Amino acid sequence: MAYPAESIINIDTLISSAGLGTANFGAGMIFADFDSSSDVGFVEGTYRDYGSAAAVAVDFDIASDPYKAALAWFSALPKPKSLRIYLRVELDTAVQSFNDAINKRIWFYWFEFETSIRAVDADVLALVEAADAAGKFLAFTTNQATVRDPAVTTDIVSKAFVQGSRRMFIVSHATELYAGFELAAVFSRVNFNAANSTITGEFKKLPGIDAEDLTQTAYSAMKQKGAVFYTVVETGGERDMGRVINSKSTSTFGEFIDDVFNLDAFVNYLTINLYNALTKVPTKLRQTAAGQQVLIDAASQIGERFIDNGYLGERFYPSDETGEQVLSRGYEVLTKAEDIRNITDAERADRQAAPIIMRLFRAGAIHAVDVTVQVE
């Protein structure tokens, strides 16, 4: 028997783990009342996935809220791939159902409930407070006529803006039950890995939703209160039959829907990229300037990705070092690799890196144009 080469050359194989993937921000879910399904095999406290409204009609009557919600969801263009329906447990409150789904690790981002829940403003406000804390987005629709009355301040839109939760928007419509859920479905098709993929909710088309033709008083009231609406746009006798207008969230920070949605995605992508930078090293990430640079590079990769997809854009800003106006491509990483040399002994003993500080500049979206025409 020959002498084994392995006795001379000893090779250790270091395998890098796959790491974590980013969240699915296209996942939508309807919370159906416990008695909504026509299938007795659909157990309370569980969910099913559907690829079309026709598939939902197998388990739910076409007059039911879940089917109407599915019809709105799958009417969006481009068409969403799937919809998740969770069957609520009898006697559970809306918040209890919401938390039950989260505790069971049923993933969703956009969500809605049936009209039985949406009829009580207090339940809606409690629900969106829980949603904001959990990082979920309530795509809400109200049929309250008082939303269009400027003298009323007790409607659901006014109440929601007083509460100021970031992850909610409210579409005001006289008859449609799930116009807001269809708008969420439009957002659900955003691919943050693709170039020029981020969108605004403003001016979007909602197939299957009736565009309203209202009074100027109604439009003014909805804009002042912060309600989203779907309307006919007209000039010179020409009519555009249906555009989303005033696509704001109920955020106390005055954010549009896409502001909240895009930032949620950015934070998730940044978290995952930094986590993978830490954990996919077969040996260790050294607590040195070189190790710190790996983390800075991981953060910069996400900045570049979100410039590419259109969330971040160039901006002049005052330099912290000189005070002069400088041009950013869309983000700045203010932390330097050498900063890790200055962390405290306690931070070093705790195996921490120097904190990474990023400054983001949103590309935003143009929703209006002022024009001055000078005639000579």
Query: Average of pLDDT values for 59-81?
Result: 97
| Spatial separation of the C-alpha atoms in residues 83 and 70, rounded to whole Å | 7
Within 8 A by CB and 6+ apart from 340, the residues are 287, 288, 289, 291, 292, 353, 354
Helix axes 257-279, 289-308, angle to 10 degrees: 150
> In a 10 Å sphere around its CB, with 0-12 CB exposed, 13-18 middle and 19+ buried, how is residue 287 labelled?
middle
Q: Which residue bears the tokens 């950013």?
A: 328
Within 8 A by CB and 6+ apart from 177, the residues are 65, 68, 69, 72, 115, 141, 143
Query: Average of pLDDT values for 354-364?
Result: 96
17 confidence band (pLDDT: 50, 70, 90): low
**Coil, helix or strand for 133?**
helix
Question: Residues 104-161: pLDDT tens digits?
Answer: 999 999 999 999 999 999 999 999 999 999 999 999 999 999 999 999 999 999 999 9
Residue type, 177: L
CA dihedral 99, 258, 311, 335 (to 10 degrees): -50
| Spatial separation of the C-alpha atoms in residues 56 and 48, rounded to whole Å | 9
Predicted confidence at residue 89, as pLDDT, reads 98
8 confidence band (pLDDT: 50, 70, 90): low
| Spatial separation of the C-alpha atoms in residues 131 and 203, rounded to whole Å | 26
Within 8 A by CB and 6+ apart from 116, the residues are 33, 65
Predicted confidence at residue 10, as pLDDT, reads 73
Predicted confidence at residue 70, as pLDDT, reads 98
φ, ψ of residue 258 to 5 degrees: the values are -70, -30
| Res 246 pLDDT > 70 | yes
322 confidence band (pLDDT: 50, 70, 90): confident
337 confidence band (pLDDT: 50, 70, 90): very high
Strands (DSSP E) contained in the chain are: 28-32, 47-50, 83-87, 110-113, 137-142, 168-172, 229-235, 238-245, 315-318, 325-328, 331-333, 358-360
